[in-house]
A and B are shown apart, each in its own frame.
Chain A
Amino acid sequence: MGIKAIAKVKHDIATVKLLVKHPMASGKIGGGKGEAKYINHLTVKHGGRVVYDMYPTSAVSKNPYIKFAFKGAKKGDTITVWWQDNTGKSEKKDIKLK
């Protein structure tokens, strides 16, 4: 588990790059004997509004890299990254925009 982030604001547009530590296992390895464990919902909120809403599957690579941008941000604002996987595990992290 762990979320690394680079989030920068230029004018009023925030560009966010995330690296989430997660196996993203399909459960197909070794003839389907492995256990499926992948993030199936990831959101980023800015001041209560959802600015990124993603429904991944195990077809997203291990330790997912995600890049997006949104409008209406300023330096010093906080965004909240949250994800949940198919086993019910979740993680939440606040990130300050630079």
Chain B
Amino acid sequence: MKRRNFLGLGFTTMAVTALQTVGSASIFSEHPKAFMATTGDAALEDAYGTTSAMKDDKAKLKLPDIAENGGAVPVTVSTSLSNAKTMTLIIDGNPHPLAVTWELSEGTIPKFSTRIKMRKTGNVRLIVEDANGKLHVATKQVKVTVGGCGG
């Protein structure tokens, strides 16, 4: 019985350790305020400690010029940097501008597509954090004919 109890304890400890590892490495658990920020710059300040980002071709953002349905705007984000750490999508016209953060890992091709909600016409920014912690930005204005933050 004693041996059995000991093994059980081991598994519990392992499970707890695994959970902690997942949590501690994430931008979400370290910067929960960034996701609740009400301006894009406040979100960036909290997540990365700066709002200054280089406007170069390292960050690439693909969005339509006009979105007829603000509830589902197709977006593709990518970076030409092979060793970038994170990518963050900011929708400046939304009540909480920080829309998505991706953590990048080895083997992952840093090009992602999804669909986003936009409340109104405004800028969408893609921030790419490179291996040295420097930020790169791509900005694109999207005209929204019908807003889509309900729901």
Contact = CB atoms under 8 A, between A and B. Distances in A.
B116 A70 contact: no
Interface string B8-37: 000000000000000000111000000100
Judged by DSSP, the binding face of A is strand
B98 interface: yes
Contacts of A55: 26-28, 35, 100-103
Contacts of A56: 99-100, 114
B114 A70 contact: no
Interface string B102-113: 111111110111
Interface residues of B, number: 34
B101 A61 contact: no
Contact of A60 (B28, B106, B109, B116): B116
Contacts of B101: 54-55
Interface in B47-83: 71-73
B151 A68 contact: no
B95 interface: yes
A62 B116 contact: no
Given A25-B151, A40-B28, A59 B91 contact: yes
Contact of A68 (B71, B91, B108, B148): B108
24 contacts: A13-B109, A23-B151, A26-B151, A29-B150, A40-B28, A49-B106, A50-B103, A51-B105, A51-B107, A51-B108, A54-B101, A55-B103, A56-B100, A58-B96, A58-B117, A60-B116, A60-B117, A64-B114, A65-B114, A66-B113, A68-B108, A68-B111, A71-B108, A72-B107
